[in-house]
Amino acid sequence: MATKKTVAVIGTGVIGASWAAFYLSRGFAVAAADVADGAEGRLRAWIDEYWPTLEELGLAEGASKDHLTFTASISEASCGADFVQENGPERLDLKRSILAEIESTAPAETIIASSSSGLLMSDAQDGMQHPGRLVLGHPFNPPHLIPLVEVLGGRQTAPENVDAAIAFYTSIGKKPIRINKEVPGHVANRLQAALWREMFHLVQEGVTSVADVDTAIQYGPGLRWAIMGPFLNCEAGGGSGGITHFLEHLGPAIRDWCRDLGDYPETDDYIPTMADGVRAELAGRDWQDVLAARDRLLLEILAAKRTAPEIP
């Protein structure tokens, strides 16, 4: 094994590029691979863009953008890798093809973590030489900033490799969660989907506007969720009685609210309404400036949370 451990980043679109920048910032050598035309130039430009933010977060000793290598060959990038972060398209046939190329050269003991946001690892494992080393390593966008990683094994994954992946992500500053059972969309996306379902319904029914839904979350529960998760907020909401009192007190009302929740739209007719609302909300603002402001606030929130370790 090389002195500097190497992470192979396979696929360098938005998610893969963010992962590559993060791994470089943690002191790894990154061997990146992508077959798309112009992929290397885009990857290096994105890393240059992300690097000042990563410097502000704090670089690991020896971290450098110069430790990036790029190739159009998946097998070449995977050769000798100590860890593989796969970021291919959300198509099962392509995923299996990419995994086969990784396995053609990656050491048999190397864990392969897939960033897949929806595919099941049990399906992706079919045909693998060493299916026991495939795990889900699903980040939240952008991975170089957001700590969450969802970790899960498929039917053929060795449990010790799930443990090892969680330990690895923890060691580099991520906040991994263990998913015990495969479900479409994993955990965090399903929680988001529950909110999406209702926000689309509320706008479609004329209850409120796109901008006001965003304001409701930004300046209401979103502020609390950034500090403590929803279960701990229920505990806080119950006063001295905690979550037990909270649910006993509000349970009947919550059940009524849930019965009245809308369904996710069955056709795409709702999309223009949502898009028009977003355009109206962004009128007069530069989207890149909005994203830059988001990243600055994320850094401040993350820094504040690090100074309050008593909050999980």
User: 188-306, what's its fold?
Assistant: N-(1-d-carboxylethyl)-l-norvaline Dehydrogenase; domain 2 (1.10.1040)
Interhelix angle for 242-260 vs 230-237, to 10°?
A: 110
Q: Is the dihedral of CA 109, 110, 115, 119 positive or negative?
A: negative
Exposure on the CB side of residue 291, measured as CA atoms within 13 A: 9
- 114 beta partners: 86, 136
**Residue ranges covered by each domain of the chain:** 6-178, 188-306
Per residue in 60-69, pLDDT (tens digit) is 999 999 999 9
Rg (CA), the chain: 21
Q: Is the domain defined by 6-178 classed in CATH 1.20.1440.230?
A: no
Q: Is 69 exposed, middle or buried (0-12, 13-18, 19+ CB in 10 A)?
A: middle
Per residue in 163-212, pLDDT (tens digit) is 999 999 999 999 999 999 999 999 999 999 999 999 999 999 999 999 99
Exposure on the CB side of residue 305, measured as CA atoms within 13 A: 19
- With CA atoms as reference, report the closest residue to 136 among 191, 179, 88: 179
- 138 beta partners: 150
pTM of the predicted model as reported, rounded to 2 decimal places: 0.92
pLDDT of residue 194: 96
Per residue in 153-172, pLDDT (tens digit) is 999 999 999 999 999 999 99
